Structure 1
Amino acid sequence: MDLTEQISQLEADLQELSSLLEKSERKRVQELLKQEQRKVEKELATKRHQQEQQAKREADPTAGSKAPYTTKITNYAWDQSDKFVKIYLDLKGVDKIPAENVEVNFTERSFSVLVKNLNGKNHQMSVLNLLHPIDEKDSYKKIKTDMVLIMCKKQATKKWDCLTAVEKQSKEKDKPSAEDNADPGDGLMKMLKKIYEEGDDEMKRTINKAWSESQEKKFRGEETMDI
């Protein structure tokens, strides 16, 4: 029995219950009839709501459908020429969806990508704090087989060491400092000097004695080499 028939049956039940309620004279019977009436009214309202939803789905199959899940794009590579920084996004089947489903927005120091409804998902990527400013008006996208190519037009023809300013800061932080490359002997001398300055008289005498013996050995070694 479809929804239309179920609704018709419930409407007929409700009409008969109303008729019986009017004819009934005993209070207990009236209460039982009212309870059943409320039960039928509730069921009838539910069936009518289901019928409305069904009609909407038939009129627009996409109505009420679940929004696609959005995932971040992490699989990409980049390259550059004198005029452009090129970002390659690996997205299987992207060339088979409508071109308007691929949206790319540029600013002077960023770009964002949104690929709608590809393999049942939305795919998103944002790159902020580009290493150098770009010309957003002359930047554009290209859709290739299983790939989106982002073309960021450089404002200057200088070579980019990395894609973002954050990456450059991270590389500079990881570079060894001048102190890391210093002679280990210099570090030892600084440490001994600090101990000497902060030590008591006994410590200073010990360091002076060790220094004198060290210099004496060094002098004797040089004499031996001269002979």
Structure 2
Amino acid sequence: MSESKINELKGDIDELNLLLKQAKRKRVQDLLSVEVRKLETEWISLRDSASSATPMDVSPIPTTSTVQEKRYQVKLNGYGWDQSDKYIKVFVTLKNVQNLPKEQVYCKLTDKSMELIVENLDNKDYTLVINKLLEPINVGESHWKQKTDMVVIFLAKQNPMSKWSHMTEIERKFEDQRSNRFKNDDLDKKDPQESIMSLMKNMYETGDDEMKRMISKAWYEGQQKKKDSTIDL
């Protein structure tokens, strides 16, 4: 799946979240939330698939002996992540990494960065560097594990129970700038309720039977309330 498709999905999710903040009716909020969760699930799946298939920069490591087998330095760019109350969990896919001795798989950590190093896996040395983490981590309580075709790094949150919106400060800054541009360029020019109605129409046309049923019910109940208000007056 192309990177443009992943970016397009991310943009749709961001726009839906902005419209969700503008929505005032509970049922409309529920409908938007369902669509956000649906797109987020698709986006995570595509992102993880792209991460495992991302081309990697490979360059040979000079050796001092012609007899010694060549080793290559591989810079990893793709990874997945999740979080619990205590940990940020980073998932790095590497085939057969479970077969390496533990001393060849390790991390260098600071309170705001991590570097995964995997030595001599099929004659390659792998590194993954993540700088400027969104929040500080507790180095002493962090650890990592080798699993089948994967390394999982457990970064202990310095502030347990905090929820990270992004993995790094740079990612959050980028999203904030994008959101601000959307608000300035679109929300000031367009009625939020009109945007929501247009979005719901598109959701109805492209949604499954359950989504159509929910939208039809929300529209019907809204029309009934309008009629009741008119009669009361």
TM superposition score normalised by structure 1: 0.51
Alignment: residue pair count? 124
Shift of 1:149: 0.3
CA contact (8 A) 2:115 2:130 kept: yes
Shift of 1:64: 5.1
Please point out which of 70, 74, 78 is paired with 2:73.
70
Please point out which of 175, 179, 187 is paired with 1:181.
187
Shift of 1:141: 0.5
In the other structure, the counterpart of 1:117 is 120
The whole-number CA distance in structure 2 between the counterparts of 1:75 and 1:177 is 30
The whole-number CA distance in structure 1 between the counterparts of 2:136 and 2:190 is 42
Shift of 1:129: 0.2
In the other structure, the counterpart of 1:98 is 101
In the other structure, the counterpart of 2:53 is none
Q: Write the letter of the residue equivalent to 1:174.
A: R
Shift of 1:179: 5.1
The whole-number CA distance in structure 1 between the counterparts of 2:120 and 2:189 is 60
Q: Which structure 1 segments of 5+ residues have no match?
A: 1-61, 186-227
Q: Name the larger-Rg structure.
A: 1
Q: How large is the Cα RMSD of the aligned pairs? A: 1.9
In the other structure, the counterpart of 1:59 is none
- Greater than 4 Å deviation, 4+ residue runs: none
Describe how 1:47-196 pairs up with structure 2 within 5 A. Answer: 65-156=68-159, 157-175=161-179, 176-178=182-184, 180-183=186-189
The whole-number CA distance in structure 1 between the counterparts of 2:69 and 2:93 is 26
Q: Deviations over 1:186-214 (max 9, x none)?
A: xxxxxxxxxxxxxxxxxxxxxxxxxxxxx
**What percent of counterpart residues are identical?**
33
Q: Which structure 2 segments of 5+ residues have no match?
A: 1-64, 192-233
The whole-number CA distance in structure 1 between the counterparts of 2:175 and 2:109 is 26
The whole-number CA distance in structure 2 between the counterparts of 1:184 and 1:137 is 51
Q: Write the letter of the residue equivalent to 1:181.
A: L
CA contact (8 A) 2:70 2:123 kept: no
Shift of 1:74: 2.6
Q: Write the letter of the residue equivalent to 2:162.
A: K
Shift of 1:178: 3.6
Q: Find the residue that maps to 1:75 and give its secondary structure.
A: coil
Using a 3 Å threshold, how does the CA distance of structure 1 residues 144 and 164 change in structure 2: closer, same or farther? same
The whole-number CA distance in structure 1 between the counterparts of 2:121 and 2:183 is 47
CA contact (8 A) 2:91 2:150 kept: yes
